[in-house]
Amino acid sequence: MTDAAAERTSRTFTTIGVIGLGTMGAGIAEVFARNGFTVVGVEVSDEAVERGRGHLTHSTGRAVARGKMSEADQAEILGRISFATDLAALAQADFVVEAVVESLEVKKDIFRRLDDIVRSDAILATNTSSLPVTEISTANSRPGRVVGVHFFNPAPVQNLVEIVRTVVTEPGVLADVEGLVGTLGKNPVVCGDKAGFIANTLLFGYLNHAASMLETKYATREDIDAAMRFGCGYPMGPLALLDLIGLDTAYEILDTMYKQGRDRLHAPVPILKQMVTAGLLGRKSGRGFYTYD
């Protein structure tokens, strides 16, 4: 961690572990590296590591191309990130963020395995969007040291991080994580452990409704998106945003929220499932509601 970053947190965090280097994990790794932390990124295979490295090079390269970052700074940031395919590489981490697929079993297995690996004073976090943090935390023998840290997509750009506390999260741990998020230049907000947390609970009913409008041919995709961009000042329309989030991810989030709350707002509209089944996942697959190069 750089001296400037050290001054801004109550506890000294030096080494950050990020498990999973997909869109979100790579974005989170970039955020920490940009802020001077040493980052260890862990993926399941060499191929997955290379994909993660590709996300990081592409994202920082974009900042270089826009004149927002020098090539030397890019090299320094990427140089702070090391890669591994074994969780054992996280032995010295002060803070570990898990950002793997939204599967409760996979996440619980990781938290179980971290027990024998991480230091006893390490803080563990999951970037889940909608799974129960409490259940993930109890797979570990120190659930009091586990929180949710929910970054938003694209992580290097969106300035919010939701910190999810469970009934057993230690208050000191919560305060340390709030401090850490502050050092990243992000706004921390704290909430309880309920599917969707604050932002997705409010956002996804709206996104689902937009997909329903398209499904019933009430309006075109362009007009639905234009209405919210130009009428309400949103940076992008709901269908473009669904493509950014990924339709598979959006479906899973809605489905989880629906099963937990039984609020019809969150019952995923059929077109979402159909598009996921057809492989139309949004930006990441090249086609969703729109087509991408």
The catalytic site residues sit at: 129, 150, 162, 200
Point out which residues bind ligand CAA (CB under 6 A): 59, 62-63, 66, 68, 129, 152-154, 156-158, 200, 235-236, 241, 245, 249
Q: Which class for 120: exposed (0-12), middle (13-18), buried (19 or more C-beta within 10 A)?
A: exposed
Shortest approach of ligand CAA to residue 66 CB, angstroms? 4
Shortest approach of ligand CAA to residue 63 CB, angstroms? 6
* Closer residue to ligand CAA (CB): 218 or 292: 292
* Closer residue to ligand CAA (CB): 93 or 184: 184
Residues paired with 16 in a beta bridge: 39, 95
Angstrom CA distances, 55 to 29, 61, 149, stand at 10, 10, 21
Q: Which class for 7: exposed (0-12), middle (13-18), buried (19 or more C-beta within 10 A)?
A: exposed
Angstrom CA distances, 213 to 83, 207, 270, 290, stand at 44, 10, 12, 16
CB 14 within 8 A of CB 25: no
Shortest approach of ligand CAA to residue 96 CB, angstroms? 19
Shortest approach of ligand CAA to residue 247 CB, angstroms? 11
Q: Which residues of 210-238 are buried (b: 16+ CB within 10 A; e: fewer)?
A: bbbbbeeeeeebeebbebbeeeeeeeebb
- How, if at all, do strands 187-191 and 160-164 pair? parallel
Shortest approach of ligand CAA to residue 79 CB, angstroms? 19
* Closer residue to ligand CAA (CB): 9 or 127: 127
Rounded (to 5) percent helix, strand, coil in the chain? 50, 15, 35
Only one residue has tokens 């572990």, namely 17
* Closer residue to ligand CAA (CB): 156 or 188: 156
* Closer residue to ligand CAA (CB): 175 or 236: 236
